[in-house]
Structure 1
Amino acid sequence: MTPSLTLVRRLRASPAQVFAAWIRAETLATWFGPHHTRVEDAELDVRPGGRFRVVLREDNGERHEVGGTYTEVAAGEGLAFTWAWHSTPERQSRVSVRLRPVAEGTELTLVHDRFADEATATRHRRGWTESLERLDALFGGGAQHDGSRETTR
């Protein structure tokens, strides 16, 4: 079994609003990536078989490019896509984002699996955690997470 991670967040926004934040390049650019990065470029062709590419620039000037192919797209419900860094295209993993309406807004469950090793999963946990913090801030903050459901396997 390859390493994986699961993050669960409750966001104060509707599933449609959260879904839109994932599929609109201009919105994605406001929250995607760890705290010390900014999105320099984002190209999203959000449909099954469509591709995405995101270029991140760190505060220190380092550039990172990630991309993949959408395998599932369900408006307001979630999406799934492959994930590979430009520098290591042979290390393809998979991301699934599920959205569920709850009284406070939306419960988002992100599963990233098929990592090459545990160290890679740990680095991605930090990146996704900080990205979801930024996504939460986009909707006014106050997200809750269920720590018991945050796992790395």
Structure 2
Amino acid sequence: MGNKVTHAEMDVRVGGRFRVIMHAPDGGTNDVSGEYREVVPGSKLVFTWVWITTPERESLVTVVLRRDGDATLLTLTHEQFADEAARDSHRSGWTDVIDALEHLFA
């Protein structure tokens, strides 16, 4: 992982937008934005995902939170990729994010 978020804007409402800029350890910059399609406080977010470098390749992210006793289960689905390489790259990135969340809240 190792990306450092240097800018984040979020207007979390249906039709609202977000933008996140991250800097990678190798010096690269990652700039992603999107629009919130569904917002259910405490349980669900659906939003588009678009890299500034490939705006024609919009994908869709769904995050669902569900109580499980004293814990919360998080299900993240990212779909509508342009190709398998994009899918695999995002799988790796999201896995790093989920692992970091797990350590943070353990």
What is the aligned partner in structure 1 of residue 79 from structure 2? 113
Larger strand share, 1 or 2: 2
How far did 1:60 drift?
1.6
Q: Of 76, 88, 99, which aligns to 1:122?
A: 88
Q: Render the CA deviation track for 1:54-93: whole Å, top value 9, x for unaligned.
A: 0010012111100000001111101000001000000000
Amino acid in structure 2 at the alignment position of 1:105: A
How far did 1:129 drift?
0.2
What is the aligned partner in structure 2 of residue 56 from structure 1? 22
How far did 1:40 drift?
0.9
Q: Render the CA deviation track for 1:36-66: whole Å, top value 9, x for unaligned.
A: 2111111000000000000010012111100
RMSD: 0.8
What is the aligned partner in structure 1 of residue 33 from structure 2? 67
Q: Render the CA deviation track for 1:65-124: whole Å, top value 9, x for unaligned.
A: 000000011111010000010000000000000011002411111110000001110000
Amino acid in structure 2 at the alignment position of 1:118: E
Q: Across the two proteins, how many residue pairs are aligned to each other? A: 106
What is the aligned partner in structure 1 of residue 43 from structure 2? 77
Larger helix share, 1 or 2: 1
Query: Could you tell me the percent identity over the aligned residues?
Result: 48
Q: Tell me the TM-score normalised to structure 2 length.
A: 0.96
